[in-house]
């Protein structure tokens, strides 16, 4: 990050830039400019529209009063996309408050009763079609799971036996979802344990969203894959927005999705976990 690049940011003075952990997608920095703190994300060799989905998601959160960083600026410098958002001073963990916040988010139902979002979910490895649909099964199975399966096969991460197993799993998922009443809830879309934090008032903040409207069990399933959520979170969520009967069976559909996504992104280290989830769904 050189000074010539920094001088093109929309500030009078950039006082300090410190690299921080920003996940596996972006270069991330704590930026101090005009004596105020910001969070700077940079994606080399991309135009400014790389961040269009994240910006739309953060704006959707803001519109619905869901705690999340605020968008400050977005642009492109020397063929690098950047996004500047508010910087969150970290406080103490409060999992019960986090459960209430996620329940509040999921209680936001798309007034048009459609599943999807105004912009596609764009990642480094795969882009998901979020075109509005009346059917959760269509959005989740056809536009997400099937797209993942195709990519995984193209990367030679599934063999013919795995592909056949997937078709059996797909049939079970469609059958179970046909008996479940899904509501198009506002979803974070990537709610693993690294995508929340607590501010200096100990209030939970949701970060790095991949927002769309879908069945709330999608988000809940993702929370179970890598940990980061304790029983206080789930108890608080369930008190605010009781989980539907059959969730313990359907949660594996969304665990499978998330593990397939990681298989695509990181390779065979996730293969056994994907196979295990498929087996659970078929048992």
Kindly state the helix (H) or strand (E) to which residue 55 belongs, with its residue range.
Answer: helix 52-63
Residue 247 φ/ψ region, left for φ over 0, alpha for ψ in the -120 to 50 degree band, beta for the rest: alpha
Query: Which burial class, exposed, middle or buried, applies to 207 when counting CB atoms under 10 A from its CB (0-12, 13-18, 19+)?
Result: buried
At residue 123, the pLDDT reads 76
Q: List, in order, residues 6 or more apart from 150 with CB less than 8 Å away.
A: none
pLDDT at 23: 57
Distance of CA 86 to the CA centre of its chain: 19
- Domains belonging to the chain, first-starting first, are 3-86 (3.30.200.20), 95-282 (3.90.1200.10)
Which residue is it, tokens 């970060």?
Answer: 207
Cα–Cα distances (Å) from 78 to 1, 4, 9, 82, in that order, read 11, 10, 11, 10
- DSSP 8-state symbol, 84: E
185 burial (CB, 10 Å; 0-12 / 13-18 / 19+) is buried
In tens digits, what is the pLDDT along the chain, a chain of 283 residues?
688 999 999 998 999 999 987 556 778 999 999 999 999 999 999 999 999 999 999 999 999 999 999 999 999 999 999 999 999 999 999 999 999 999 999 999 999 999 999 999 987 778 999 999 999 999 999 999 999 999 999 999 999 999 999 999 999 999 999 999 999 999 999 999 999 999 999 999 999 999 999 999 999 999 999 999 999 999 999 999 999 999 999 999 999 999 999 999 999 999 999 999 999 999 9
Burial group, residue 58, by CB count within 10 angstroms (0-12, 13-18, 19+):
buried
Q: What is the value of pTM for the model shown?
A: 0.94
Q: 3-state SS of the chain: helix, strand, coil percent to 5?
A: 45, 20, 35
DSSP state of 139: I
Catalytic residue numbers? Answer: 190
**DSSP-based three-state secondary structure for 239:** helix
Residue pair 61/96 in contact (Cβ under 8 Å)? The answer is no
Nearest C-alpha neighbor of 241 from the set 217, 212, 206, 222: 217
Q: How far apart are CA 227 and CA 225, in angstroms?
A: 6
Cα 165 to Cα 150, 276, 279: the distances in Å are: 14, 11, 9
Burial 242-257 (b: 16+ CB within 10 A, else e): eeeeeeeebbbbbbbb
């Amino acid at each position: 990050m050189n000074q010539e690049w920094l001088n093109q940011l929309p500030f009078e003075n950039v006082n300090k830039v410190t690299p921080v952990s920003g996940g596996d997608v972006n270069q991330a920095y704590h930026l101090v400019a005009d004596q105020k703190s910001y969070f700077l994300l940079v994606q080399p060799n991309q135009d400014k529209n790389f961040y269009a989905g994240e910006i739309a998601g953060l704006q959707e959160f803001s519109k619905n009063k869901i705690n999340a960083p605020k968008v400050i600026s977005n642009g492109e410098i020397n063929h690098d996309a950047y996004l500047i958002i508010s910087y969150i001073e970290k406080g103490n963990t409060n999992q019960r408050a986090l459960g209430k916040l996620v329940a509040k988010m999921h209680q936001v139902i798309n007034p048009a009763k459609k599943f999807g979002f105004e912009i596609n979910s764009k990642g480094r490895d795969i882009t998901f079609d979020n075109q509005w649909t009346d059917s959760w099964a269509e959005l989740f199975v056809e536009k997400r799971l099937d797209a993942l399966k195709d990519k995984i096969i193209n990367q030679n991460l599934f063999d013919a036996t795995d592909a056949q197993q997937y078709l059996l799993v797909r049939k079970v998922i469609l059958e179970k979802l046909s008996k479940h009443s899904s509501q198009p809830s506002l979803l974070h879309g990537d709610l693993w344990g690294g995508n929340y934090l607590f501010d200096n008032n100990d209030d939970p903040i949701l970060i790095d969203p991949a927002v769309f409207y879908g069945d709330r069990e999608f988000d809940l399933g993702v929370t179970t894959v890598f940990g980061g959520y304790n029983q206080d979170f789930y108890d608080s969520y369930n008190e605010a927005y009781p989980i539907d009967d059959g969730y313990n069976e359907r949660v594996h559909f969304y665990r499978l999705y998330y593990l397939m996504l990681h298989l695509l992104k990181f390779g065979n280290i996730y293969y056994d976990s994907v196979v295990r989830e498929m087996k659970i769904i078929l048992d």
